[in-house]
Amino acid sequence: MATTSIQDRVDELFADARDMQGQAISCFDRGDIRDAAEKAWRATKRATDGLILARTGEEPVTTARTTDELDGLADREPAADSLLGRYYSRLGQLHGACFYDKRCNPQTERRIRETAEYISDAEVLATQ
């Protein structure tokens, strides 16, 4: 049985995040903003999980754990603080308001598209 190293799993999480982001843009371009918002949120979550796994050696199993771990990481490492607002924005607006409550707003497209930058920033932090 093959084992996966932590770095292999981190790489998988970031690859999945980039794939989800690509799917989000495709959904948006087809006019399905709610599905695009949810996929951009999932991309954010996967990238954040990759960062946390790279820094702690443990992959969060729930969104609540991801959120708590990112808060803790930002307390310990000021560079991670730059992700907090963007993470919470996507959690609340893309996942909560747009996807679940069907309350998408003019900023939804910006948040979906800028998720690619979030992924890149998280990946850079994961390698430091």
Report helix, strand or coil for 101. coil
Per-residue confidence (pLDDT) for residue 110, from 0 to 100: 93
3-state helix, strand, coil in the chain (%, to 5): 80, 0, 20
State the Cα–Cα distance between residues 57 and 49, nearest whole angstrom.
11
* Mean predicted confidence (pLDDT) in 22-35: 96
Residues with Cβ < 8 Å from 23, sequence gap 6 or more? 39
Question: Could you tell me the domains of the chain?
Answer: 6-127 (1.20.120.330)
Q: How confident is the model at residue 4 (pLDDT cuts 50, 70, 90)?
A: confident
Which contacts qualify for 89-96: CB closer than 8 Å, 24 or more apart? 90/40, 90/41, 90/44, 90/115, 90/118, 91/41, 91/44, 91/63, 91/67, 93/37, 94/37, 94/38, 94/40, 94/41, 94/44, 95/37, 95/38, 95/41
Lowest mean pLDDT of 1-15, 69-83, 111-125, name the range. 1-15
For the cut 90, the answer to whether the pLDDT of residue 15 exceeds it is: yes
Per-residue confidence (pLDDT) for residue 95, from 0 to 100: 85
Per-residue confidence (pLDDT) for residue 128, from 0 to 100: 84
- Tens of pLDDT, residue by residue over 30-65, are 999 999 999 999 999 999 999 999 999 999 999 999
- Tens of pLDDT, residue by residue over 60-110, are 999 999 999 999 999 998 888 889 999 999 998 998 889 887 899 989 999
State the Cα–Cα distance between residues 26 and 48, nearest whole angstrom.
22
Whose CA is closest to 15, among 66, 55, 60, 49? 49
